[in-house]
Amino acid sequence: MRDRLYLLVFLVGAGLLLYVGRGYIAMSTYATFGLTFAGTTAAAVLGLVLYRVQLELRASRHELARKEAELNFALEVQQALFPKQFPADGGLEFSAVCVPARGIGGDYYDVLQRSGGRLAFVIADISGKGISAAILMSNVHAVLRTLYDAGHPAGELCSQLNRQLHRVTDGTQFATAFFAEWSVGDRSLTYVNAGHPAPILLGSRSGEQLHAGGPPLGLFPGTDFEVGRIVLQPGDVMALYSDGITEAGESSQREFGAARLEAVLERHPGEPLDEIRQYVLEAVRDWSGEELEDDMTLLLIRAVRAGVGSRQSAIGGA
């Protein structure tokens, strides 16, 4: 700013000298000298300003490149937290995708397996976006896996995860989550819905709402969560999703909505889960455009007969 002010003063001064002394330039050596000095000085200051602008641009490019490299590294770390493959012989098949709105985000899904034919799956949506949400997401991932490996049942697991999340955020951030544990022996699914959009069910449980649970994780430290239970039959499909899907198009006051998502799923009930997943993503993007307003996550589960192998697919971003 200072250099620009100096340049403006010199240019104005040179202009005034030219105007006032336009008739005396040829007769006055002093006028000629003054105008020459003013013009030379203005050119020098202009050159200095341009040089400094060039230096600032180089520094800005360097800083931008550094931040982009850091963001890419953080994205790689986050992508590594998503499962690379799913269990293929536990009576369930899976397909999943997570598309962050800003390169890195706070949506999360996971599939966990324990001995004895038990496995669990979870989807969560951390409040906020960007780096802060991604850091909290990684904390949820680590704590949940530790609690599950320790053998905690669904209700207790969510209560402890809720206390941990409240402890590290002091109630300023929260996470909606749906956690479910599957028992292949009796085909039962015990679940906790912590303020998350209810899954869409197709098949023998079509239209059923899985709301048992409690408030989002991290809001209240002493929350006890209700546990729900259902039985799934072979062919039943469950769709877990983040609100980035159903609220797509919100900025233009035309949300995609849960009803539209369910309609897409119902049009392709028996097709491979990977193809159904792609139909959903295409429908959302056709509705709202390519520019995402929020992280978008979809986890599809189909009950199959125990021991039946199937394609299992997980995609961290698309």
List, for residues 260-304, the tens digit of each pLDDT value. Answer: 999 999 999 889 999 999 999 999 999 988 777 788 999 999 999
Would you say residue 77 lies in a domain? no
Do 221 and 91 share a structural domain?
Answer: yes
Would you say residue 115 lies in a domain? yes
Do 65 and 90 share a structural domain?
Answer: no
CATH code for the domain in which residue 119 is found: 3.60.40.10
Higher pLDDT, 82 or 37: 82
Is the pLDDT at 49 greater than 70, yes or no? Answer: no
**H/E segment holding residue 97:** strand 92-99
pLDDT at position 131 is 78
pLDDT at position 295 is 85
Higher pLDDT, 68 or 165: 165
Using the 3D structure, point to which of 46, 72, 98 is the last residue of a domain: 72
Would you say residue 79 lies in a domain? no
Do 130 and 12 share a structural domain?
Answer: no
Using the 3D structure, point to which of 72, 94, 120 is the last residue of a domain: 72
pLDDT averaged over the chain?
Answer: 82
Mean pLDDT of 242-251: 86
pLDDT at position 224 is 95
Do 244 and 275 share a structural domain?
Answer: yes
**pTM metric for this prediction:** 0.76
Do 293 and 265 share a structural domain?
Answer: yes
Q: Nearest to residue 259, comparing CAs of 177, 197, 179, 192?
A: 197
Written as one letter, the residue type at 26 is A
Do 164 and 129 share a structural domain?
Answer: yes
Do 189 and 101 share a structural domain?
Answer: yes
Q: Which domain holds residue 43?
A: 2-72
pLDDT at position 310 is 46
Would you say residue 78 lies in a domain? no
* Positive/negative CA dihedral, 78, 281, 307, 177: positive
Rounded Cα distance between 99 and 118, Å, is 28
Is the pLDDT at 20 greater than 90, yes or no? Answer: no
Do 158 and 59 share a structural domain?
Answer: no
The backbone torsions φ and ψ at residue 182, rounded to the nearest 5 degrees and listed phi first, read -110, 135
Mean pLDDT of 239-250: 90
- The size of the chain, in residues, is 318
